[in-house]
Structure 1
């Protein structure tokens, strides 16, 4: 490792190796996420990925790449829907907004149901 080119090619190979590992984990994740593929086919793919990893990863991407993308898209869409539902539940559970509370208190003041002191108390509580 005496020259810059030696270091450069070492970094290129490390980058390629890390990319391959990421790809391998993506394939394993997709393989076990797929509900349509039987257990036997999953076992065959795992054995192929262990025996001839580069070739079987390339074949997997060519043969099942479109389904892999569709399953990933479905998982992301489901996660987004779950997050949106959670945010809606939390937002609705927090009660009316301070603006709505002050508007209601002002309407009560204008109707004569409360006096100025009670309105100030309700306004301070809404803003707190």
Structure 2
């Protein structure tokens, strides 16, 4: 009966702390590696050969490559991320404006035409139409 059962209290608290810390550092390293690779491809100021060189350096010697990249080009990483987010927001805003079709508020004639359509369908009464029409004409 030489079997040994490992119980939870056989694993010291300091050992659990170090294990959690190493897992955390490993996950952070993976995030940093992918962040650097994305930044290499996103940077328009780098030529194709420069991107290839950084990518090969990062893949062949990952720890050294990432750390050298962060030291050499890390200052611009945040700016490039902000520019990318701003471009995405501008693209989304442009799409919304195109989808809506109007860039400004509807004219009085458009509002009155819509009110007439609503009254013709019977969704509002003549009295409600009159009040809405007055509101449009006086605003």
Aligned length: 109
Aligned to 1:5: 14
Instruction: Give 1:41 deviation, angstroms.
Output: 1.9
Equivalent-residue separation in structure 2 for 1:64 and 1:28 (angstroms)? 12
Structure 1 stretches of 4+ moved >4 Å = none
Given the alignment, which residue of 59, 74, 99 partners 2:68? 59
Give the deviation of 1:40 after TM superposition. 2.1
Tell me which residue corresponds to 2:137. Answer: none
TM-score when scaled to structure 2? 0.64
Distance 1:35 1:119, change over 3 A: closer
How far the C-alpha of 1:120 sits from its partner, in A, is: 7.7
Give the root-mean-square deviation of aligned CA atoms. 3.0
Q: Identify the residue that residue 87 of structure 1 maps to in structure 2.
A: 96
Displacement of 1:44: 1.9
Say which SS state the counterpart of residue 20 (structure 1) adopts.
Answer: helix
Query: Is 1:21 matched with 2:22?
Result: no
Following superposition, the deviation at residue 122 of structure 1 comes to 4.9
| Cα distance in 2 for residues equivalent to 1:50 and 1:90 | 43
| Secondary structure of 2:44's aligned partner | coil
Cα offsets for 1:89-112 (capped at 9, x unmatched)? 33346xx6xxx85xx37x87xxxx
> What displacement does 1:83 show?
1.2
Q: Which residue of 1 aligns with 2:122?
A: 121
- Higher relative contact order (Cα pairs below 8 Å, separated by 6+ residues): 1
TM-score (norm 1): 0.68
Question: Which residue of structure 1 lines up, in the alignment, with residue 48 of structure 2?
Answer: 39
For residues 78 and 16 of structure 1, the distance between their equivalents in structure 2, rounded to whole angstroms, comes to: 32
Query: Can you give the 5+ residue segments of structure 1 that lack an aligned partner in the other structure?
Result: 109-117
